[in-house]
Amino acid sequence: MGMMSLVKTVGYRVTGVLSASVCAIGMAAAVMASSFVATEAHASEGRFIPTVTSSPPPTGARNLCRQYSWACTAARSSTLTIQSEMQLVKEINRRVNVSTRDVTDQSQYKTRELWALPTARGGDCEDFALLKKRDLIHAGVDPSKLFIATVLDTRRTAHAVLIYRSTQGDLVLDNLTNRIKPWSKTRYLFLRMQDPKKPGRWVGVYGSS
């Protein structure tokens, strides 16, 4: 499939084990794939997601730091052991997936894309990621190890996930599955993510799984 065909076919309908809702992270994310699709044939085998350059944030995340300061903190904390931290990551990932319903931004806010914590009605993929990040930080997980990434999923549909930077590599917390996988095992095309050095900024990703 050519690049233009890929861009034209990328929609907002996400299907998966736990989700059947629209997950709108903006067509800009799909168009960004034109900068990275060529890397699919040369997928990185690294444990950590490689980044190349600064990038504008997703449309719905432009006011993220102003709305949720904790979502962009670079503060470091090491109050937990590695084992305790990983156990919390597993527990909170599953809890949020099970307890939060899938609801589109269009349904809730009458707009295609709005990054916010889930409401009582639920939320879409980036809302799941935000809730997991907040709950993990509140539970004592080091904020500098948590950042949100935008991807194209296995259907090459726009999607968002939370990344946990473990000592073994970058792990993906996904609302489409309770399984926590290394980024390189997801078969996702990674587009951009919060800059691990300064989460208030975003960086383009040079790699696919």
pLDDT, tens digit (0-9, with 9 covering 90-100), for 66-110: 999 999 998 887 678 999 999 999 999 999 999 999 999 999 999
Asked whether the whole model's pTM tops 0.95, one would answer no
The answer to whether 26 touches 56, Cβ cutoff 8 Å, is no
Query: Which strands, in side-by-side order, build the sheet including 51-55?
Result: 51-55, 198-205, 189-195, 146-152, 158-166, 169-173, 181-182
Show the tokens assigned to 185: 């095992």
Residues 6+ apart with CB under 8 A from 42: none
Write down the mean pLDDT value for the chain. 83
CA separation for the pair 10, 29 (Å, rounded): 10
Domains and CATH numbers, the chain: 3-205 (3.10.620)
The model's pLDDT over 130-187, given as tens digits with 9 standing for 90+, comes to 999 999 999 999 999 999 999 999 999 999 999 999 999 999 999 999 999 999 999 9
CA separation for the pair 96, 4 (Å, rounded): 36
Neighbour count for residue 138 (Cβ, 10 Å): 10
Residues 6+ apart with CB under 8 A from 36: 189, 190, 191, 204, 205, 206, 207, 208
pLDDT of amino acid 208:
63
Show the tokens assigned to 72: 């962009």
Instruction: Decide which of 78 and 46 is more confident.
Output: 46
CA separation for the pair 160, 14 (Å, rounded): 11
Q: For the residues 110-114, what does the mean pLDDT come to? A: 90
